[in-house]
């Protein structure tokens, strides 16, 4: 029994359902409602720490060649990734280049290459003068990915129950018993906590020690590209620091100020300050004007204290499995994280040579996942 119908829970359910009876309980009336379905997801390596990059690399083959019948539509499309830096950020750019080198082949970009890729970026004094380019980036389709995992679950006889918000959890004998707010009851010998921003709350209901997870709100806006400009071929462009990213999106551009605002688990809504900050940073870093915001939204990204994902059995409760803390990189690492969960729960061969169980353990030393 898996609590949480985001990409963590659905991918794990898909991996487990080949050899086990699986049920997913999702509190909302649709899958991926709070985080996975609101993600402006790119598969790239300028995100997270070495553990996240290793998990991304291990998942890459899944996106290049999805399993047969997984989806009827592409899971994404190729989009270059451009990370750019001002004069005073060159040392940071060099460090990032060295950090990514074991995982992806990057090109160094001068002002000419930056302009060719993204002609609206400000260049020269006060603007971008150097960058890194990953031409193998993938703009993922979170809805196609979620529906693909859900299809796998249902095809193998698994069940996804929507509107099943957890009210009570208890352990009786060898079974975990869950009662929802609607009064429905479910039982299974193994309980997987993949509840995202609500994972600590689910643990507390079950009498399990929480991890200290922190949900963070992130804001995204969309706006029109400049008149008479075809922006469809522009890259996913990101500052070398966590200040701004933007990219083409369905005939417009989307952008985020890369805000991380601690919040309680909730249906996150965009804050006007972050909305204004996104527009301001676009106008500072590019030659564009944001005259009208077409759409705005916010999602939750939930992190463990060391910002690494967690996958493993709780040390203080039998057969209570944590699958949490995949904030900001859950979609691009979901294929291998699902295999990790299946490996640990079912005793299957370990799926990734680049990652260890200790790095993902529930109780780990502060330096292990970095």
Q: Is the pLDDT of residue 149 over 50?
A: yes
How far is 175 from 318, CA to CA, in rounded Å? 10
Confidence label for 368 from pLDDT (cuts 50, 70 and 90): very low
Helix (H, G, I), strand (E, B) or coil at 187: strand
pLDDT of 259 = 96
pLDDT of 250 = 85
Confidence label for 344 from pLDDT (cuts 50, 70 and 90): very high
Q: List the single range of 33-47, 113-127, 277-291 with lowest mean pLDDT.
A: 33-47
Domain 2-71+141-212+305-360: state its class: alpha beta
The CATH number that domain 80-136+214-302 falls under is: 3.30.9.10
User: What is the percent of the chain where pLDDT is above 90?
Assistant: 89
CB 253 within 8 A of CB 295: no
Q: Which residues contact 244 (CB under 8 A, 6 or more apart)?
A: 238, 255, 256, 257, 258, 278, 281, 282, 285
Cα four-point dihedral sign 326, 180, 205, 318: negative
* Helix 142-155 / helix 7-16 crossing angle, nearest 10 deg: 30
Confidence label for 38 from pLDDT (cuts 50, 70 and 90): confident
Q: Is the pLDDT of residue 25 over 90?
A: yes
Confidence label for 366 from pLDDT (cuts 50, 70 and 90): low
194-226 pLDDT per residue, tens: 999 999 999 999 999 999 999 999 999 999 999
How far is 206 from 54, CA to CA, in rounded Å? 32
pLDDT of 370 = 41
Mean pLDDT within 270-297: 96
User: What is the percent of the chain where pLDDT is above 70?
Assistant: 98
DSSP letter for each residue of 48-66: S-HHHHHHHHHHHHHHHSP
220-249 pLDDT per residue, tens: 999 999 988 999 999 999 999 999 999 998
Partner residues linked to 123 by β-bridges: 128
pTM: 0.94
Q: Is the pLDDT of residue 364 over 90?
A: no
pLDDT of 34 = 80
Helix (H, G, I), strand (E, B) or coil at 133: strand
How far is 208 from 139, CA to CA, in rounded Å? 37
Summary mean pLDDT of the chain? 94
Say yes or no: do domains 2-71+141-212+305-360 and 80-136+214-302 share a fold: no
Q: Which residues contact 266 (CB under 8 A, 6 or more apart)?
A: 197, 215, 300
Helix (H, G, I), strand (E, B) or coil at 276: helix
Q: Is the pLDDT of residue 365 over 90?
A: no
Mean pLDDT within 350-360: 90
181-195 pLDDT per residue, tens: 999 999 999 999 999
pLDDT of 328 = 83
Number of helical H runs and strand E runs in the chain: 9, 21
Q: Hey, where are the domains in the chain? A: 2-71+141-212+305-360, 80-136+214-302
């Amino acid at each position: 029994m898996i609590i949480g119908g985001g990409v963590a829970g659905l991918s794990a359910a898909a991996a487990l359902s080949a050899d086990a009876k699986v049920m997913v309980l999702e509190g909302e009336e649709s899958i991926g409602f709070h985080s996975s379905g609101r993600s402006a997801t790119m598969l790239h390596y300028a995100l997270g720490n070495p553990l996240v990059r290793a998990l991304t690399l291990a998942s890459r083959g899944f996106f290049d060649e999805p399993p047969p019948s997984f989806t009827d539509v592409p899971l994404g499309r190729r989009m270059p990734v451009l990370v750019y830096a001002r004069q005073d950020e060159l040392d940071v750019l060099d460090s990032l280049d060295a950090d990514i080198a074991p995982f992806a082949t990057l090109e160094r970009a001068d002002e000419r290459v930056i302009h060719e890729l993204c002609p609206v970026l400000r260049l020269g004094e006060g603007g971008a003068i150097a960058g890194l380019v990953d031409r193998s980036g993938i703009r993922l389709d979170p809805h196609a990915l979620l529906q693909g995992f859900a299809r796998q679950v249902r095809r193998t006889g698994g069940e996804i129950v929507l509107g099943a918000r957890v009210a009570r959890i208890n352990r009786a004998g060898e079974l975990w018993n869950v009662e929802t707010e609607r009064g429905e009851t479910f039982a299974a010998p193994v309980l997987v906590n993949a509840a995202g921003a609500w994972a600590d709350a689910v643990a507390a209901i079950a009498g399990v020690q929480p991890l200290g997870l922190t949900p963070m709100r992130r804001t995204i806006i969309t706006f029109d590209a400049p008149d008479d400009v075809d922006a469809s071929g522009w890259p996913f462009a990101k500052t070398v620091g966590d200040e701004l990213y933007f990219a083409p999106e369905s005939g417009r551009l989307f952008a985020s100020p890369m805000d991380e605002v601690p919040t309680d688990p909730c249906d996150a809504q965009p804050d006007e300050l972050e909305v204004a900050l996104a527009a301001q940073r676009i106008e500072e870093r590019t030659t564009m004007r944001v005259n009208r915001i077409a759409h705005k939204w916010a999602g939750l990204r939930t992190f463990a204290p060391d910002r690494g994902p967690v996958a493993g059995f709780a040390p203080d409760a039998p057969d209570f499995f944590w699958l949490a803390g995949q904030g900001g990189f859950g979609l691009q690492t979901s294929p291998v994280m699902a295999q990790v969960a299946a490996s640990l729960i079912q005793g299957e061969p370990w799926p990734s040579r680049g990652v260890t169980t200790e790095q993902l353990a529930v109780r780990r030393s502060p330096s292990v996942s970095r």
